[in-house]
């Protein structure tokens, strides 16, 4: 093709048709420029298409992550509510004249479940990817970006709050473990003390009922703190999901 154009130019010069030669040269330059512009436009279009596909992928992944979070929140809140029931029963019964069989069941349930310190682990792989790669800017929508940052920022606050609460309750747990027959009753360790009298262990727990009550109340408090925070987070997640679905629709 280049040889073809060169041949035409040479022909025009040799025949003395200078005016036609310059017109042809200008036309050739325009063709080259138009070709370059078209190539750039195609390249830009391909780049935008790739960015759009990446944005679609991120939004789909975020929606999936937040739906998993909602399921996880519901599970943790439900488990905490059940734990609170056992803690409540323990506090009401441990200092009473209840028979030892009833007390055994209530105390066992407390050490089986009431001692559990629940944690919430979010599905944050997509958000971490967006943050660490700098791809958050691909989303373009400022309001959506702010909603995403608000949601995961709230999760960070919940995590820090839960760590503080665990650090606060742990010394009291240690005190109960050291000063009472807690391990003789705890279902995880009771088999280690099969050689001991279980009735004496129940009596020991009852004698230390004030310490056990404070410990149980502490666990009740941190359970409520986490549960309240997760319920609030669920409200934030509903708002974010709505924003993500709206953005998804606008791209279709």
Q: Where are the domains of the chain?
A: 64-250
Tell me the CA distances in angstroms from 118 to 31, 74, 84, 130, 222, one per residue in order. 70, 13, 12, 28, 9
Tell me the CA distances in angstroms from 9 to 1, 14, 16, 31, 43, one per residue in order. 13, 9, 11, 15, 31
Match 């780049």 to its residue by tokens. Answer: 47
CA 182 to chain centre: 35
- Closest alpha carbon to 91 in 212, 224, 222: 212
Distance, in Å, from the CA atom of 189 to the CA atom of 195, rounded to the nearest integer, reads: 13
CA 139 to chain centre: 18
Distance, in Å, from the CA atom of 240 to the CA atom of 67, rounded to the nearest integer, reads: 11
Tens-binned pLDDT, residue by residue, of the chain (252 aa): 445 445 545 554 555 555 554 555 566 566 666 666 665 665 666 556 677 888 889 999 999 999 999 999 999 999 999 999 999 999 999 877 678 888 999 999 999 998 889 999 999 999 999 989 888 888 888 899 999 999 999 999 999 999 999 999 999 999 999 999 999 999 999 999 999 999 999 999 999 999 999 999 999 999 999 999 999 999 999 999 999 999 888 877
């Amino acid at each position: 093709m280049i040889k073809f154009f060169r041949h035409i130019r040479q022909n025009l010069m040799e025949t003395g048709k200078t005016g036609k030669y310059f017109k042809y040269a200008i036309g050739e330059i325009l063709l080259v420029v138009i070709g370059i512009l078209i190539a750039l436009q195609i390249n830009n279009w391909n780049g935008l298409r790739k960015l759009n596909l990446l944005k679609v992928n991120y939004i789909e992944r975020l929606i999936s992550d937040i739906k998993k979070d909602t399921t996880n929140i519901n599970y943790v809140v439900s488990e905490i509510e059940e734990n609170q029931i056992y803690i409540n029963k323990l506090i009401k019964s441990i200092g009473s004249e209840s028979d030892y069989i009833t007390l055994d069941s209530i105390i066992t349930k407390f050490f089986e479940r009431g001692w559990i310190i629940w944690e919430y682990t979010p599905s944050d792989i997509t958000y971490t990817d967006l943050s660490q790669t700098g791809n958050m800017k691909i989303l373009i929508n400022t309001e959506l970006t702010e909603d995403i940052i608000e949601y995961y920022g709230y999760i960070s606050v919940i995590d820090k709050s839960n760590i503080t609460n665990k650090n606060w309750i742990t010394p009291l747990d240690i005190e109960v473990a050291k000063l009472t027959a807690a391990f003789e009753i705890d279902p995880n360790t009771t088999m280690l003390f099969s050689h001991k009298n279980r009735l004496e262990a129940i009596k020991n727990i009852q004698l230390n009922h004030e310490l056990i009550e404070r410990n149980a109340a502490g666990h009740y408090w941190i359970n409520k703190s986490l549960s309240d925070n997760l319920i609030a987070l669920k409200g934030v997640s509903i708002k974010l999901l709505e924003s993500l679905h709206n953005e998804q629709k606008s791209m279709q």
